Amino acid sequence: MSTAPNRKLRLGMVGGGFGAYIGGIHRFAARLDNHYELVAGAFDVNADRGHQFAAENYIAADRSYTDYKAMVAGELAREDKIDVVAICTPNHTHFAIAKAFIDAGFHVICEKPMTTTLEDAEALHALAKSSGRFVGVTYTYCGYPMIHAARAMVAAGDLGSIRVIQVEYPLEWMATAIESEGNQQAKWRTDPKLSGRGGSIGDIGTHAYHLAGFVTGLKAEALCADLTTFVPGRSLDDNAHVMIRYEGGARGLLWSSQVAIGCSNGLRLRVFGEKASIQWHQEAPNEITFSPLFGKPETIKRGRDDLGDGATVRTRTPPGHPEGYIEAFANLYSGFAEAMRAINEGRSPSAIGVNVPTSYDGLKGVAFVDAVVDSHEKAPFGWTKPAHA
Ligand code: NAD
């Protein structure tokens, strides 16, 4: 499956049909830098709706498939087969779909959490490694240039050694039982068979955990969690507080909540070192506040030329023009494209294809959810070591 550098990658998609949330964001992201062409899909759990979606989105009828198994078989049989599949389905389906495509030799872009069990995450990561296929996991927020700038600042020692990491991901959209009023997204997210062991902690806590580890480079040594379900009748947590002990002595506090009224998409990271701190908020993603000890806080804005390669290669427009969520997601897609082309061509990836989230990050996210739920079940003294950090 070699890919000539002068052609777009052929992308297939599973899920992401009518009324779905993240599939549309993947399609925006795949289009922005012109690396991909969406040519095939099994877009819906209901095949008729999937075919209708495909027709309305200019997918050839013979490449609109009834399900992912038919898609693997149909694409394998073609000369112009897809290079990569994007898996945009609910959590419980990720493992089987990803495995089927990897086994058939395709690269994979998989949504988070990567799987619903630690066992499956370990198996999928092992398969990714042994197959040599690329498996990217869409931890969206590490696509932001300013997150790469923050990571570079921590790595350069601008903060000194890290003492405290505060990360929170509060949302309000599940503050009432919308899952029993027909909300498609809330329905599967509140069902442990479809979502996995974590509610808010799996859905958004994994993003926060990844972001904290990505920026600081620190591994979690142990954690202690308190999960709560506020909305009556719900079987998974809709609010989580997690204390984290990081290597080197840093202490973290992670809050994820789906019942935080007033918060639309309030992902926020604050990292405090011995010399300085940084703060970043996803609703104002083009800037970081840098506060040196006893010094004047400085707002560092996207587009400066001293923010490091990671930020520079992910910056599209000059400072002052807002870039946001779609651009960050597109940065992931461009990084994945470069990582896949590098594998196909037997070379090292250029800067945008480095430090992209892969199956190992997916595995660490699932291990985090597992440790959080284990710890909660051991409360009130539930310090628990994640199996992978
Ligand atoms: P959704 O319910 O809106 O959409 C799911 C889609 O998958 C629907 O089109 C459904 O018909 C389809 N589907 C279900 N089972 C299928 C199957 N077996 N074969 C083909 N299609 C199937 O869900 P969503 O909110 O878009 O979430 C999907 C995934 O994306 C989840 O894993 C979620 O955690 C993740 N997600 C990630 C982010 C992010 O920031 N990276 C944001 C939102 C959701």
CATH number of the 9-140+354-360 domain: 3.40.50.720
Cα 315 from Cα 320, distance rounded (Å): 12
Type of residue numbered 65: Y
Pocket lining: 15 vs ligand 1, CB cutoff 6 Å: yes
Report CA(251)–ligand 1 centroid distance (Å).
33
| Pair 39, 11: CB distance under 8 Å | yes
pLDDT of residue 1: 41
* Band of residue 5 on the pLDDT scale cut at 50, 70, 90: low
Section 245-271 average pLDDT: 97
Asked if residue 2 has pLDDT above 90, the reply is: no
Asked if residue 271 has pLDDT above 70, the reply is: yes
Pocket lining: 42 vs ligand 1, CB cutoff 6 Å: yes
pLDDT of residue 342: 97
With a pLDDT cut of 90, the percent of the chain lying above it is 96
Whether omega for the bond prior to residue 113 falls within 30 degrees of 0, making it cis, is yes
Section 65-86 average pLDDT: 98
Pocket lining: 22 vs ligand 1, CB cutoff 6 Å: yes
pLDDT in tens, 274-286: 999 999 999 999 9
pLDDT in tens, 331-340: 999 999 999 9
With a pLDDT cut of 70, the percent of the chain lying above it is 98
State the span(s) of the chain assigned CATH 3.30.360.10: 144-319+363-377
Share the mean pLDDT of the chain. Answer: 96
| Pair 108, 82: CB distance under 8 Å | no
pLDDT in tens, 113-164: 999 999 999 999 999 999 999 999 999 999 999 999 999 999 999 999 999 9
Cα 300 from Cα 365, distance rounded (Å): 29
pLDDT in tens, 20-64: 999 999 999 999 999 999 999 999 999 999 999 999 999 999 999
Pocket lining: 171 vs ligand 1, CB cutoff 6 Å: no
pLDDT in tens, 199-234: 999 999 999 999 999 999 999 999 999 999 999 999
State the span(s) of the chain assigned CATH 3.40.50.720: 9-140+354-360
Report CA(285)–ligand 1 centroid distance (Å).
25
Chain centre distance of CA 91 = 12
DSSP class of residue 276 equals E
Asked if residue 372 has pLDDT above 80, the reply is: yes
* Closest residue CA from atom 16 of ligand 1: 45
Report CA(78)–ligand 1 centroid distance (Å).
27
CATH number of the 144-319+363-377 domain: 3.30.360.10
pLDDT of residue 204: 98
Whether omega for the bond prior to residue 380 falls within 30 degrees of 0, making it cis, is yes
* Band of residue 4 on the pLDDT scale cut at 50, 70, 90: low
